[in-house]
Structure 1
């Protein structure tokens, strides 16, 4: 989903971290991802979502993407996730950034994000937890770097999280900083 709102995405129903965490953990359980999200086979996962849940995806060349400057996007009207071909290939090869991109888009899908036009007073700006992009990023982080595994494996540094979950260093740093700020680490 492409955002141009004040927070980077579109205003959606507010969801807090705990609620998004529950959603991501349920998805891990339902899809059989369990405690090893680093072993997600992206191509197989997308095929499974398509067959079992009618969530389709289309791999397109850059020039054919709905918006040329994006790597992937979710179109709720057609129930289709559009993925740029190079990003899809990288995700299928377990590239950390590409995997996060796909899980981010999956977050839009499973959190029910739809682009809406919101009218609000100028002095009533959306809160961060009402931002579709923040929610999708949080979902991807919860799915790929689950807190229960971080605690059980004692992954108390960004480097440990990066290596264990095979995520980018940037994603691992953001995750550990957020968990520490929220008082969830040490476990």
Structure 2
């Protein structure tokens, strides 16, 4: 059971958020989204209360990344091995970066994120599902990948083969 419940959002809502981000950065028609560059270099210029940190394994343990709010300040932390692999364009680790960016955009400043005191969450109100959905929608934009092969999506979007296959199956099913 997850500890937090987010404002409900559909896949279409999250797709619109990722498209809006791409548009605002002038990347709406680009297959490759520079996720690490955005969280490390762009976001600090757009939000003076945002911080990016690379943390050690000792600091984060099994967590690959975290988005943390402390008052008005928000930080994205990536474990150093994840950061290094994302920097080397490893798809799974680029996905972690996009996932944390999703938490930042959808949850870090949201007053509607609140404790869940029981019962299973519906996926559309689960912040982890929302961030995973954002990750896929951001890195594998539907409007650009329709008709592409799994291999081409993985290579050109910089995601793992599993992520490319997952997103293409969703899109093929009309989601």
Q: TM-score, normalised by structure 1?
A: 0.81
Q: Who is 1:26 aligned against?
A: 20
1:104–1:137 contact (8 Å) kept in structure 2: yes
* Residue 133 (structure 1) aligned with residue 162 (structure 2): no
> In the alignment, is residue 173 of structure 1 matched against residue 165 of structure 2?
yes
Q: Are residues 1:97 and 2:95 paired?
A: no
- What is the aligned partner in structure 2 of residue 47 from structure 1? 41
Of residues 80, 87, 106, the one that matches 1:111 is 106
How far does residue 166 in structure 1 lie from its aligned partner after superposition?
A: 2.1
Per-residue CA distance 1:50-69 (angstroms, 9 max, x = gap): 1222321111111122xx11
Asked if 1:74 corresponds to 2:37, the answer is no
Shift in CA distance, 119/149, structure 1 to aligned 2, threshold 3 Å: same
Please identify which structure carries the higher strand content: 2
Unaligned runs of 5+ in 1: none
Q: Match of 2:76, SS?
A: strand
2:64 corresponds to 1:64: no
Relative to structure 1, the CA distance from residue 176 to residue 119 in structure 2 (aligned partners, 3 Å threshold; closer, same or farther) is same
Cα distance change of structure 1 residues 180 and 119 upon mapping to structure 2, 3 Å threshold: same
Q: CA RMSD of the aligned region, Å?
A: 2.0
Aligned-partner SS, 1:18 = helix
Equivalent residue of 1:69, what SS? coil
- Give unpaired runs (5+ residues) of structure 2: none
TM-score (norm 2): 0.86
Q: Deviation of residue 116 (structure 1)?
A: 2.5
